[in-house]
Amino acid sequence: MDKEKEELYKVNGFMFGSLEDAEMAREELNAARYIEKKIENKSPETVLAIYKAAIEKRMFRTPVGYSYLHELQKRMTAGGISKDNISGIPLFQIFNNKKDEEKAPRVIKVKKNKEPWEKKNAVLTWINILLVILVIIMFAISMSGSRPTVLNYRRTIENEYSSWKQELDERERVISAKERELNMAYGND
């Protein structure tokens, strides 16, 4: 590996196997420097609170971040905080030193079960699909039905009006015919 490429993989004295890991370490180094500026001249209790928050939020996951957390542990101990109050630095990797396997650390992937909210999300998705289908069926039924609804009231009212008009025209013709008959009957007398 040439010098330029080596510098890309090297961060704070650590040599990383990938550019992504090296970039993550650089970000953690910047975060550590920022925190360091903020906690300068602060009480050990404040440092302990920041230490606990960094662990809880998993801010540091590379050796660069772990070494900074270790420095914070030393500072808190020197400041009078009991080692019992300082939690250990959680490592999210398993290191295996067997001779017949690679000496590089490996990450064990745990098969993740679905979270309860993911199960609920899947159920809710299916319920929504069912409801959409039911709404479509209801629209189809209301459009094909003979009773007036919000969707077809105008057509139904126009049809009803035209049937009344036909009935009235028919009655008018019958009445006119009867009147003519009566007029003829009276007119001839």
Q: Where are the alpha helices (DSSP H) in 40-146?
A: 44-56, 63-78, 116-144
pLDDT, tens only, 102-116: 555 556 565 566 677
Do 52 and 76 belong together in one domain? yes
Do 8 and 42 belong together in one domain? yes
- Please state the domain count of the chain: 3
Do 70 and 116 belong together in one domain? no
Question: DSSP letter at 85?
Answer: G
The pLDDT assigned to 107 comes to: 60
**pLDDT band for position 137 (cuts 50, 70, 90):** very high
Do 127 and 155 belong together in one domain? no
Distance CA 151, CA 142 (A): 7
Three-state DSSP class for residue 155: helix
pLDDT, tens only, 59-105: 888 999 999 999 988 888 888 888 888 888 888 776 665 544 455 55
**pLDDT band for position 156 (cuts 50, 70, 90):** confident
Residues 6+ apart with CB under 8 A from 93: 105, 106, 107
**pLDDT band for position 47 (cuts 50, 70, 90):** confident
Distance CA 149, CA 133 (A): 20
Q: Which residues form the domain of 154?
A: 150-189
How many residues are listed for the chain in this entry?
189
Residue 27: inside a domain: yes
The pLDDT assigned to 124 comes to: 92
Do 158 and 123 belong together in one domain? no
Residue 62: inside a domain: yes
Q: How many CA atoms lie within 13 A of 14 on its CB side?
A: 21
The overall longest dimension of the chain from CA atoms, in Å, is 137
Do 9 and 59 belong together in one domain? yes
Mean pLDDT of 129-157: 81
Q: Above 50 in pLDDT, residue 45?
A: yes
Residue 14: inside a domain: yes
Distance CA 14, CA 77 (A): 26
Do 13 and 53 belong together in one domain? yes
The pLDDT assigned to 9 comes to: 87
Q: Above 80 in pLDDT, residue 117?
A: no
Do 116 and 137 belong together in one domain? yes
**pLDDT band for position 184 (cuts 50, 70, 90):** confident
Distance CA 96, CA 104 (A): 8
- H or E stretch covering 14: strand 14-15
Q: What is the pTM of this model?
A: 0.49
Three-state DSSP class for residue 15: strand
Q: Above 90 in pLDDT, residue 133?
A: yes
Residue 95: inside a domain: no
Residue 34: inside a domain: yes
Residue 94: inside a domain: no
Residues 6+ apart with CB under 8 A from 29: 11, 12, 64, 68
Q: Above 80 in pLDDT, residue 23?
A: yes
Average pLDDT of the chain is 82
Do 22 and 56 belong together in one domain? yes
| Neighbouring-strand partners of residue 15 | 10
